Amino acid sequence: MLHHSDLLQLKRWNTPTIYNGWEQITRRDPAAAAFNLEETRDFMPQMGPMVGYAITVVIQPSQKEHRETNPDAWNAYRRYVAGIPGPKIVCVQDLDKPRVIGSFWGEVNSNMHRALGCVGTIVDGAIRDVDEMTNAGFKALARRLCVGHAHVHPVSWNCEVEVFGRVVRPGDLIHADKHGFLVIEPEVQPHILEAARFMDANECKTVIPAARNFAELSTEEILANLTSAGAAFGGNAKAKFQRDGEW
């Protein structure tokens, strides 16, 4: 796991910036892996990005038999949550999808999870008590709001889940904000901060100045500067990571 200071530094950038570093060091396809494939909604954008390690749970609020077949599930699930080092992001697969029947989250459950070291959730379903969740400092990416909890009960946990079209496994590093979320596989986690820093600096030294400094230049001069800056950006990425840059 990364040092807590590194996680705090990852929070200084938005999720697209972290993605720019991730694509330079991953072996996965940057067009088909790691980020959400379906639209998410950040209900607390004013809280900025959240960063943490995935813990997972599956729910099905429409089915009351889960409470009957495993009445001790809440206690067992909370013990699982408590046993994992933080910071943690709870990734929730709702088996009722595409329907929304009830919410796993509300004022009480968000405060409980905050006490157990969780900083937020990505739930492929609904939340409620959004103001109270915000007051608890518990960030949520979800599909929508709803009124009730219905028959919500942990069905299974500490397992692979699918949220917003993306598979998440326990222990994956998650970076999430109003743009969506990125799932960072364990093997590249030690290098993600350096990669994100480098690519952000690479932009600031090459393509951004070329795009911004256009006063009194002709169209041909602007185009030439953009081409030159793009080549420099790509060359820097190639030298550092042996990969082509975005430009």
Position 77 scores a pLDDT of 98
> Which amino acid belongs to residue 71?
P
Domain ranges of the chain: 4-185, 194-241
Alpha carbon 177 to its chain's center: 6
Q: Between β-strands 118-124 and 173-177, what pairing exists: parallel, antiparallel or unpaired?
A: unpaired
- Ranges of the chain with pLDDT below 50: none
What backbone torsions phi and psi does residue 111 show, to the nearest 5 degrees?
A: -65, -40
Position 245 scores a pLDDT of 73
For the entire predicted model, the pTM comes to: 0.93
Tokens of 10: 């990852």
Question: Tokens 């430009």 map to which residue?
Answer: 247
Q: What is Dmax (Cα atoms) for the chain?
A: 74
Position 244 scores a pLDDT of 77
What is the distance between the alpha carbons of residues 90 and 56, in angstroms, rounded to a whole number? 6
Contact 192, 11 (CB under 8 A): no
Tokens of 59: 């729910």
- Residue 11: how many other CB atoms lie within 10 Å: 17
Position 230 scores a pLDDT of 94
- Ramachandran sector of residue 242 (left: φ over 0; alpha: ψ -120 to 50; beta: rest): left
Superfamily for the 4-185 domain:
Ribonuclease E inhibitor RraA/RraA-like (3.50.30.40)
Position 50 scores a pLDDT of 98
Position 238 scores a pLDDT of 93
